[in-house]
Structure 1
Amino acid sequence: MKSKILSILFITFLLISCQGQTSKTVETIDGKTYADKLSSTENPQLLDVRTPEEYAVEHLENASNVNWNGDDFVAKAEKLDKSKPVFVYCKVGGRSNQAAIKLLELGFKEVYNLDGGIMKWQGKKTANSNTKPTGMNASEFEKLINSDKKVIINFSAKWCAPCKKMAPYLTKMQDELKGKISLIKLDADENKALMETMKLNELPVILIYENGKETWRSLGYLSEEDLRKQL
């Protein structure tokens, strides 16, 4: 009888423990919901977890820069109030999701992650007024794709994990198809104005052009097999 009681108590303890662990999850929410929660929170803790360089170009109004890839992320996070909501965002949502999970591990109760990151944010941003537009403009891009050969454009970024995963096979294809197809890689951060003009709000990006006209596009990770099907 005693052993049965102990078994029941042990199982109950496990269930309570599991419920406690699963109740704390990152809430990844769309831009409107994120903005509403942000505006309704008194003195919100808003964290831009990108690099200082990205933050300097533009960021959400009143956001503090706490670089997820920096050595001092945890130290800076520990200075925040763990009992109050924390809002995090990055470029497309990957780094901020990792940062949000870490914040929960550190004991924060409410953590909200911006779905799609700043690339999908439609609200107010604070930009560095001294930053001049860089990279390719629309006219230069049109010249790039104006070819009698099929042209593949790949937008990626150094911080983008799916981009890094695709990079090896894209480099291989670039060599294999040389002279038959033009495969051109463009840095999204260095061509921000072009990305906005083309309404590209996710990475990586693959665009295929024939005779200067777009025939196919893919946003997000794409396998080598799936890309080759389009060639």
Structure 2
Amino acid sequence: MKNTSLKNSLTAIAFFIAIAVFSQNKSQNTLPLDVFYSKIQAEKNPQIIDARGPEEFALNHLLGAVNFNLESKDYAEKIAKLDKNRPVFTYSIGAGRSVWLAEDLLKKGFKEAYSLEGGIANWIGNGKPFFANSKSKLTLAEYNKIISDNKTVLVDIGSVYCGACKKVKPVLETIKAQYGSNLKIVEIDLEDNTQVIADLKTIKVFPTLILYQNGKIILKKEGFENLKNEIDVALASK
């Protein structure tokens, strides 16, 4: 009985140590935008990997990035072309595929591998340089006019490739049904409006919801949880 208890205790201790190590590695290797950007700037020819799918990469990406992830058929061939002694910078739509990729590179002997906190949403959303294969359908001037011409506006900023962004859509339908013409809802996707998202210089993650009233922001929310309740509370207090 004592041996069993001791074994269970040791197992529990090992489990918590593993969690602590994982959390520490994640915090060390997932960098905030300013640090990530500074490290890239310090490299003559930075090794940047876009860990999204090829369709996403074709629409927009960081300048100088190459595209592959853990599921790519030529993954081994791709990483063989990288210099293990130089840092590698990874990013995705948020911080999922890029985190896994950075961790795998470290396991394979790379000295430094970093993922970008907030992913490409954070990069483009704060005006860092990028490539886009088309112009935004909406300009910043047009965006500002929508805000000024309508008393109450809810802006949904995200991406068609963002899982959490898809969960916002039914919530928006419920909000639209409740408020009708009293609330204008504007949906802005990265794929169609890359430049206006960059020009706003205020987006860190997808989705981001911004509620305006009389031209002023009364609520800015990252994520979709409790969205309707927070909208209701914000509008009721005005």
TM-score by length of 2: 0.69
Deviates more, 1:115-124 or 1:177-186: 115-124
Counterpart pick for 1:191 among 190, 193, 199: 193
AA aligned to 1:227 is: I
Cα distance in 1 between the residues matched to 2:34 and 2:217: 32
How far the C-alpha of 1:190 sits from its partner, in A, is: 0.9
Structure 2 contact 219–234 (Cα < 8 Å) conserved = no
Which amino acid letter does the alignment assign opposite residue 65 of structure 1? N
Question: 3-state DSSP class of the match of 1:173?
Answer: helix
Partner residue of 2:75?
A: 77
| Counterpart secondary structure, 2:181 | coil
1:221 Cα shift?
0.8
Q: Which amino acid in 2 is paired with 1:190? A: D
**2:136 is the counterpart of 1:138:** no
Contact 2:207 2:223 in 1 (8 A): yes
Q: What corresponds to 1:127 in structure 2? A: 131
Q: Secondary structure at the match of 2:229?
A: helix
Distance 1:169 1:88, change over 3 A: same
User: Per-residue CA shift, 1:78-122, capped at 9, x if unaligned?
Assistant: 332599364311244344235445x37x94355421123234448
User: Which residue is 2:118 aligned to?
Assistant: 116
Which letter maps to 2:213?
E
Determine the structure 1 residue equivalent to 2:207: 204
TM-score (normalizing by structure 1): 0.70
What root-mean-square deviation, in Å, do the aligned CA atoms of Structure 1 and Structure 2 show? 4.0
Alpha carbons 1:28, 1:112 under 8 Å: kept: yes
User: Is the contact between residue 153 and residue 186 of structure 2 (CA under 8 Å) also seen in structure 1?
Assistant: yes
The aligned residue for residue 28 of structure 1 is: 30
Q: Give the AA of the match of 1:108.
A: K
What is the rounded CA distance, in whole Å, between the counterparts of 2:46 and 2:153 in structure 1?
A: 46
Distance in 1 separating the partners of 2:217 and 2:17: 49
Q: Distance in 2 between matches of 1:116 and 1:98?
A: 14
Compare 46-55 and 13-22 and name the one that shifted more: 13-22
How many residue pairs are counted as aligned between the two chains?
218
Distance in 2, matches of 1:207 and 1:124, equals 21
Query: Equivalent residues in 2 for 1:38-57 (5 A)?
Result: 45-57=47-59
How many percent of aligned residue pairs carry the same amino acid? 25
In 2, are the aligned partners of 1:34 and 1:114 still within 8 Å (CA)?
Answer: yes
Q: Are residue 228 (structure 1) and residue 226 (structure 2) matched?
A: no
More helix by share: 2
8 Å contact kept, 2:152–2:213: yes
Secondary structure at the aligned position of 1:215 is classed as: strand
Larger gyration radius, structure 1 or structure 2: 1
Looking at structure 2, the residues matched to 9 and 208 of structure 1 have their Cα atoms a distance apart, in angstroms, of 54
Contact 2:69/2:97 (<8 A) preserved: no
